[in-house]
A and B are shown apart, each in its own frame.
Chain A
Amino acid sequence: MNNTQDKPETIGPPGRGVRVLVSVLVSLHIVAVFLGPFAMPPQTSELAATLADVYRPYVDGLSLANGYRFFAPEPGPSHLVRYELTFDDGSTEPGEFPNRDSNWPRLLYHRYFMMSEFLNTLSNPDAPSERRDRYVRSYARHLLAEHGAKSVKLTLVRHWVPRMDEVRQGRKLTDKVLYEERSLGTFEREAS
Chain B
Amino acid sequence: MSSATTYVRDWGADVAAGWNRFWFEPTDPATLAAIRICTGVMLLYTHLVWGLELTTFFGPDGWLQADAVRFLQGESYAWSYLWWFESPAALWTVHIAALVVFAMLTVGLYTRVVSILAFIAALSYFGRATGALFGLDQINVMLAMYLCVGRSGDAFSLDRWRAARKAGHPLPVRRSWSSNVAIRLIQLHMCVIYMFAGMAKLTGPAWWDGNAMWMAFGNLEYQSLDMTWMADWPRLMNLMAHVTVFWELFYVALVWPRLTRPIVLLLAIPLHLGIAICLGMITFGVIMLVGNLAFVAPELTRAVVGRAPTGQGRGAPSDGPTHPAGKAKRRRDKSRSAK
Contact = CB atoms under 8 A, between A and B. Distances in A.
Interface of A: 2, 4-14, 19, 22-23, 26, 29-30, 33-34, 36-38, 43, 56-57, 59-63, 65-78, 80, 98, 105-115, 118, 122, 130-131, 134-135, 137-139, 141-142, 145-146, 159, 161-165, 167-168, 173-174
15 contacts: A8-B175, A10-B26, A10-B176, A14-B24, A22-B181, A29-B185, A57-B77, A60-B77, A70-B135, A114-B134, A131-B72, A134-B67, A134-B72, A145-B61, A164-B237
Contacts of B173: 8-9
A107 B76 CA distance: 27
Given A30-B188, A134-B72, A4 B77 contact: no
Output the residue of B123, B232, B280 with the most chain A CB within 10 A.
B280
Contact of A4 (B69, B151, B172, B178): B172
B61 A75 contact: no
Interface in B172-218: 172-178, 181, 184-185, 188-189, 192-194, 196-197, 200-201, 203-207, 211-212, 214-216, 218
Dominant SS at the A interface?
helix
Contact of B313 (A5, A12, A71, A122): A5
A60 B129 CA distance: 14
B116 to A, nearest CB: 13
A57 to B, nearest CB: 5
Given A75-B215, A80-B221, A173-B220, A107 B49 contact: yes
A141 B62 CA distance: 8
B92 interface: no
B207 A74 contact: yes
Given A68-B200, A74-B215, A75-B216, A9 B185 contact: no
B196 A69 contact: yes
A74 B228 contact: no
B178 A12 contact: yes
Interface residues of B, number: 95
Interface in B200-250: 200-201, 203-207, 211-212, 214-216, 218-222, 224, 228, 231-232, 234, 237
B81 interface: no
A185 to B, nearest CB: 15
B63 interface: yes
A154 B267 CA distance: 43
B293 to A, nearest CB: 18
B63 A138 contact: yes
Q: Return the 5 tightest CB-CB contacts between A and B, nearest first.
A: A12-B177, A74-B204, A73-B204, A72-B200, A60-B77
| Residue among B131, B237, B282 facing the most chain A CB atoms (10 A cut-off) | B131
Q: Which of A5, A9, A26, A159 has the most CB of B within 10 A?
A: A5
Contact of B204 (A19, A23, A72, A108): A72
A109 B170 contact: no
Nearest to B282: A106
B85 interface: no
